[in-house]
Structure 1
Amino acid sequence: MRPIFGRLLIFWEEASSARMKWLYRWLFKRSIDLERRLTSAIEVRLIEKSFALERDFLRAVERRAGAASQEARAYADHSIGALSNSMRAALGIVGQSARRLDKMDCRLAELQRAIDRCMVSGPDRPSKIINPNKVALARVDGMRVHIGNGDMPSSNYVRVGSVPRPDVDVVAQMANLPFEEGELAEINVSQTIEYFSYSVLNDIVLPHWIALLKPGGVLVLTAPDGLALLNAFNSGEITLDDYREFVIGDAESDFGPNRNILIPADLTSALKQSGMVEVAENYTGKRNGNSFEFRISARKG
């Protein structure tokens, strides 16, 4: 269908009089204005209808989102509650496991202490005085005991060994010497304490020896100097084999392989903490074959 102003153009061309042309011109303008108004009204209605549809759609989306949000919130609350319960149960299990581990640690510590005591006291090898005459004579002037593989300061010392030998006067383990507390005037230990671990030496052996000393009694310790040996190895003064032999020791010895690397300062501190006085490092880093040794003396207060 042709637009209104199109048909008026045809009439305009056919009009012959000026009045008709003016009339047609007026009708033409009015038709254009009318068509413009009709078009604007239709567009407004379409826009309003579009807005209404969008508003309804947004409201529907909002209602669905609200419902979904409530469901999600309920699900989240349920999940958090279940997770909290699981965490509380897991913490309870962890707590029980920790308490069991603590008990196991205590039992293992007790077992280790028992093993350490067996190592140094040897319940299956009781102490035995092989040379009772020498022991009786030594008691007269204040008994001096020598322990270990090194040379004795003099023949007046009673030699203590862990296994029977021709030059051994008393067979005993290091934490089970067959003497009375406060009886000994001196305990001289040579090349022996390196065979005991740090805890055994400080917690078992040294307290036992100190208890056997009379007031004013002397404890002399001679042992490999771990610090001097390490410095010698770092400087190339000794070989790796020498250092390895020192660290591992002689597995065929009476005490087995080495179990400690001794530092003079550490042993000096341990003796002071044990109540010993006049603690002195007589020498350190002294060459002894392929090794080095130190000597520390202390007096019982």
Structure 2
Amino acid sequence: MFSGSIPALATPFAGDDFDEEAYRRFIDWQIESGSKALVPCGTTGESATLDNDEHHKVIAVCAEVAKGRVPVIAGAGSNDTQTALWHIKEAQNAGADALLLVAPYYNRPSQEGLLAHFSYLAERADLPIVLYNVPGRTVTDIAPETVIELHRRFPEKIVAIKDASGDLSRVVTHRMGAGPDFCQLSGDDPLVLAGYALGQVGCISVTANVAPKLCADFHAAAAEGDFATARELNERLYPLHRAMFADASPAPAKYALNKLFDWFSPDVRLPIMPCSDTARRQVDEAMELAGILE
């Protein structure tokens, strides 16, 4: 259902406000550069510091600009089940094609709580759901057995996972338990090449914000089994993958985007801080090595 290079879109700000004009230009550039889908209001989109009106506006703008050219997978998760349902309804009304639902953070629910949370939402959602497992941020880990059970209960609704656990053995476990048609996407840019060999089919990416064409070419080569080309492109991208986390994300990505486009502000929202001088140097070097600076 989803595959290839899928940027978790950074959200541009103009001072304290969402910069809608810049976002529209950014989305067009991403599609023209070969991105296969778009994720508004993910982690890189600073969803944690968007108010609810902004959250829903960002999704609506993304869906409008994409206009069916590529799928829009709207970030709609929350650590409150009812708030997540509200985001789901707003995303559906806005024209999103699918939903990205992160594991509830801070609450630390049990696996039974995760089953109940995602089941409740799946029963009430009209769009396909991509689970998002990122225990390094949420502290909550969606265990493979829970993923498999959710897909068993809702095979037409819970269709995919973005896995940022860093544990590639889970790709095999998910594949054996949920079947080869369950769509597995990486959430870790540096692990994507290995993930393709195990059964992943793409990545919801930070780096694709900055190097969408290079990422798209890499994914195309990996999907075709041309691992010689994929390795070459991966090595061009690898320093950039690392640089995107030289400071708290998405500050490095926004700094890089501002180097590419003067209309994309590097502004981030507290408690995220602007890119440090050390991180900027790392990003500069990585962009040069990737060959994406004119």
In the superposition, the TM-score normalised over structure 1's length comes to: 0.30
Bigger fraction of residues in strand: 1
Larger Rg computed on CA atoms: 1
Q: With structure 2 as the length reference, what TM-score do the two structures score?
A: 0.30
The higher-RCO structure (CA 8 Å, 6+ apart) is 2
